[in-house]
Amino acid sequence: MRRKGISPVIATLLLIVIAVVAAVLTYIWVTGYMGTLSPREVPGQLKERIKIDAVSVGAGSVTIYFSNVGESSVTIASAYVLYENFTLVSNCAATRDLPSNVAPGTMGQVQITGCNPPTGGTYIAKVTTREGVEATYIFRR
């Protein structure tokens, strides 16, 4: 009794089809798995961005003008005026009555009353959001 097998051409075609199906199933499985690993929402620190545009020093007060250049509204948590060596200028910190919900693409300002940095120095204005994003600006008086 003589047995006959499948021809080599059909065997090759079957192996190619099996390999393609296995590759497609692996691709579908990996992309589905990777979709569950990627974060669904961007953290607040990555959405918030602020930039200090200018600083105005008046009689007994410093006004810091800033822009919200991020993707979400920001709430300012604190504002400071520092010396070049990053020490705080006397009475130049604000942590109350600060702007909240400054919309993206708009400007805001923080006024620090009772702040009078000495003339002839270089200073750093610093603004911090509630999420911890900071912006600094160097100015001379």
DSSP readout, 37-96? HS-SS--HHHH--EEEEEEEEETTEEEEEEEE-SSS-B-EEEEEEEETTSPEEEEEEE-S
Q: What is the pLDDT of residue 37?
A: 60
User: What integer pLDDT is reported at residue 35 of this predicted model?
Assistant: 64
- Predicted local confidence at residue 104, as pLDDT: 93
Determine the pLDDT at residue 71.
87
**How much is the pLDDT for 108?**
93
What CA–CA distance (Å, rounded) separates 119 from 75?
31
CA-only gyration radius of the chain, Å:
31
- The owner of tokens 């990555």 is 46
pLDDT at 41: 63
The predicted structure's pLDDT at residue 60: 87
Is pTM beyond 0.95? Reply is: no
Determine the pLDDT at residue 66.
96
CB atoms < 10 A from the CB of 72, how many? 16
Low-confidence ranges of the chain (pLDDT < 70): 1-3, 33-46
The pLDDT assigned to 7 comes to 85
Backbone angles phi, psi at 114, to 5 degrees: 80, 5
What pLDDT, on the 0 to 100 scale, is given for residue 97?
86
